[in-house]
Amino acid sequence: MANRHAYLDRARDWARGESAVRALVLTGSQARADGSSDEFSDLDLQVITADIKRYIAEDSWLDALGDVWIRFPLRADAPYRLVWFRGGIKVDFQFVEPRQIDLMPPLSDEYQRGYRVIEDKDGLLRDLPPSPRVFPQPPPPTAEDLQAAMNEFWFEAIHVAQFIRRREFWVVKYRDWTMKTNLLRLLEWHAREFGAGSVNTWLLGRRIGAWTDAESMAAIGKIWAGWRAADLWDALLIQLELFGRLSRELARALNYHHEAVTYKEIERYIRRLRREDEAAPFTD
């Protein structure tokens, strides 16, 4: 399937004109050609060069590719540049040394998902096998991973409940996001543990309706609240129930310890704050 991204030809022409760039490789959804890309998909490019410092010392080279709206990081010593060009076109540049290519095969996880050689001046990638276009499954969480996620979730749950009582809703939203970050981790672990076969949980909750279970998906639609105390309470309690179920099922399946008594005690405390709040004289 031909790639139609507006900046692919520009990037190839730029790479051909840069003597320090020895190869250019397309990865991500554009390389997979599996129907997952759309008009808003970015262009993921690996720039193979032994002179990475040259491209991260300053960003004037981006001017040859188009009008930059914004870039990230800004003046940072990081081996990548994430760039929005005029018109809402995003291109992610990842700088890779040739020796990293020499270490393959086996293909890296990124290349296993899909790759396409756009330019290869030295034949660095000539002998690499084609991508199987599969999503390598990460191992299950360790007991420590699961405990850390549960610990932080319940730590912030107490904060969220108390700040709802205080009517500090901005702080509620801030603390709640940490809860949701850990909830997403459990949703991903749970989907891979209980799913049939290989399950791709993507990134940042993308396509969550396609890989999470129906019960979780029904709850997910109810854990996002507005700026009213009653709505925030409802969303918080549903989130506690969802997280509690996922963590219990994961701990049981993986034969890990689960602090059920402590978490239930925290939940009872939070529900008591909710009841007290309903009887409080102040409003939103």
102 and 222 within one domain: no
pLDDT digits (tens, 9 = 90+) for 96-146: 999 999 999 899 999 999 999 999 999 999 999 999 988 888 899 999 999
In a domain, 254, yes or no: yes
The CATH number of residue 192's host domain is: 1.20.120.330
In a domain, 151, yes or no: yes
In a domain, 130, yes or no: no
Question: How confident is the model at residue 192, as a pLDDT?
Answer: 94
The number of C-alpha atoms within 13 Å of 10 and in the hemisphere containing its C-beta is 15
**Whole-structure pTM value:** 0.86
In a domain, 135, yes or no: no
pLDDT band at residue 6, thresholds of 50, 70 and 90? confident
Question: How confident is the model at residue 281, as a pLDDT?
Answer: 67
In a domain, 173, yes or no: yes
pLDDT digits (tens, 9 = 90+) for 165-187: 999 999 999 999 999 999 999 99
147 and 116 within one domain: no
Question: How confident is the model at residue 2, as a pLDDT?
Answer: 44
229 and 176 within one domain: yes
In a domain, 133, yes or no: no
Q: One-letter amino acid identity for 255?
A: N
In a domain, 115, yes or no: yes
Residue range(s) defining the domain that contains residue 151: 143-278
Question: How confident is the model at residue 37, as a pLDDT?
Answer: 79
Chain-wide mean pLDDT for the chain?
93
Question: How confident is the model at residue 247, as a pLDDT?
Answer: 97
Tell me how many domains the chain contains: 2
Domain closes at, from 85, 120, 155: 120
pLDDT digits (tens, 9 = 90+) for 179-234: 999 999 999 999 999 987 778 898 888 889 999 999 999 999 999 999 999 999 99
Domain closes at, from 89, 120, 151: 120
pLDDT band at residue 32, thresholds of 50, 70 and 90? confident
Q: One-letter amino acid identity for 87?
A: G
Of the two residues 34 and 171, the one the predictor is more confident about is: 171
In a domain, 217, yes or no: yes
Position 1 pLDDT exceeds 50: no
Question: How confident is the model at residue 137, as a pLDDT?
Answer: 86
2 closest CA partner among 116, 145, 126, 137: 116
The CATH number of residue 98's host domain is: 3.30.460.10
Position 157 pLDDT exceeds 70: yes
Helix 260-278 with 229-254: angle, nearest 10 deg: 170
pLDDT digits (tens, 9 = 90+) for 35-89: 777 888 899 999 999 999 999 998 999 999 999 999 999 877 899 999 999 999 9
